[in-house]
Amino acid sequence: MAQETSDTCPQCRKLFVGAVEVRTMKIEGIATVVCEETPDRNWIQCDSCGLVICKSCCLDAGSGFCNTCLKPPQTAVSGTATA
Ligand SMILES: [Zn+2]
Ligand SMILES: [Zn+2]
């Protein structure tokens, strides 16, 4: 069975490495959930649609959104110029 795993980028098939560790820290006596990514993490999960994509394919990995969600949901005019 050639079932796709979720461990590879849907665009470039690169294997995801790294992880996000959720840990609970006590800051001034208040339990706070902190998400920390490992230094070798090469992927992001889109905050909007939940898609996991590697940082190389993502146009703006720092934003936390996938390429689809970075762009406004409008149909792009793709050069249909008829002379
Ligand atoms: Zn990729
Ligand atoms: Zn998205």
Query: Per-residue pLDDT tens for 15-50?
Result: 999 998 999 999 999 999 998 999 999 999 999 999
Ligand 2 center to 71 CA (angstroms): 9
Q: What is the mean pLDDT of the chain?
A: 86
What is d(CA 32, CA 47) in angstroms, rounded to the nearest whole number? Answer: 20
- Whether this model's pTM surpasses 0.95: no
For residue 68, give the nearest of 80, 59, 77 by alpha carbon. Answer: 59
For residue 67, give the nearest of 78, 54, 82, 83 by alpha carbon. Answer: 54
Instruction: Examine the pLDDT at 81 and tell me if it is beyond 80.
Output: no
Task: Kindly identify the ligand whose nearest atom is closest to the C-alpha of 48.
Answer: 2
Kind of pairing, strands 52-54 and 43-45?
antiparallel
Ligand 1 center to 22 CA (angstroms): 24
